[in-house]
Amino acid sequence: MNDATARAPALALKGIRRAFKQADAPPLTVLDDANLTIRAGEIVALVGPSGSGKSTLLQIAGLLERPDSGEVLLGGEPASGLGDGGRTALRRRALGFVYQYHHLLPEFSAEENVIVPQMVAGKSKREARGRARDLLARMGLEKRGHHRPGQLSGGEQQRVAIARALANAPRVLLADEPTGNLDPHTADAVFAEFMRLVREEGLAGLIATHNPVLAQRMDRVVTLRDGRVEAA
């Protein structure tokens, strides 16, 4: 890593544009010259009405979808020139994801769900197990590691999903309504643990949420409006 890369923002979106074709209608422009920069250790709330493009922006930031134009940079490394294999490798190395639904593998235990992505990334099973147990303990799940997702509560499932997202020590964590499926009390507790763990790991975080109370607990709030990212 050179000095310029070390000083670069953890995530930078530059001039992102994305439009979708419609039958018998002009293309629907969802993102139009969207720009956003997030530095390591900063947690940013992404807000906006339903249909404003928050999930599309997260998909593009996470290299799961290509923009029509513009650039995504992770730690100063541009993604536009990468093929599918390079994008996958960069995504595994630099990004973690948390979704509204946990998407845990039902046939595996909580611990195994956190081990699997590490082994895919090339870690030994012993190293992956140690990291999994550490993350689950930090989420208050040290006694639940051998339980399968169906044996866990909704809050516990989402805690495991958060641990899994952090398993490979990403630079950037992207989350789409990470507590949206939980009741208010559980959501508040899970979000508090989520924020604590993200700060302990020193990550950059971009969190899409409809909850204004949760948004105000983050370092900065940005709004997606008319396809552009604006300071709230």
Which tokens sit at 16? 């992102």
Residue 40's CATH number: 3.40.50.300
Q: Does residue 75 sit within a domain?
A: yes
Q: Does residue 49 sit within a domain?
A: yes
Q: Does residue 206 sit within a domain?
A: yes
- Edge-to-edge strands, sheet with 172-176: 95-98, 172-176, 204-208, 43-47, 220-225, 228-231
Name the average pLDDT for the chain.
89
Q: Does residue 1 sit within a domain?
A: no
Cut 0.85: pTM above it: yes
pLDDT bucket at 232, cuts 50 / 70 / 90:
low
Q: Does residue 4 sit within a domain?
A: no
Asked if 223 contacts 232 with a C-beta cutoff of 8 angstroms, the reply is yes
Looking at the structure of the chain, the number of domains it has is 1
Instruction: For residue range 82-131, list pLDDT tens digits in order.
Output: 899 999 988 888 999 988 777 899 999 999 999 999 999 889 999 999 99
Instruction: For residue range 208-223, list pLDDT tens digits in order.
Output: 998 888 899 999 999 9
What residue numbers bound the domain in which 187 lies? 9-231
CA-CA distance, 172 to 166, in Å (whole number)?
Answer: 9
Amino acid at residue number 49: P
CA-CA distance, 149 to 101, in Å (whole number)?
Answer: 12
- Measured distance between the N- and C-terminal CA atoms of the chain, rounded to whole angstroms: 34
Instruction: For residue range 29-67, list pLDDT tens digits in order.
Output: 999 999 999 999 999 999 988 888 899 999 999 999 999
Q: Identify which of 97, 71, 73 has the alpha carbon closest to the alpha carbon of residue 158.
A: 97
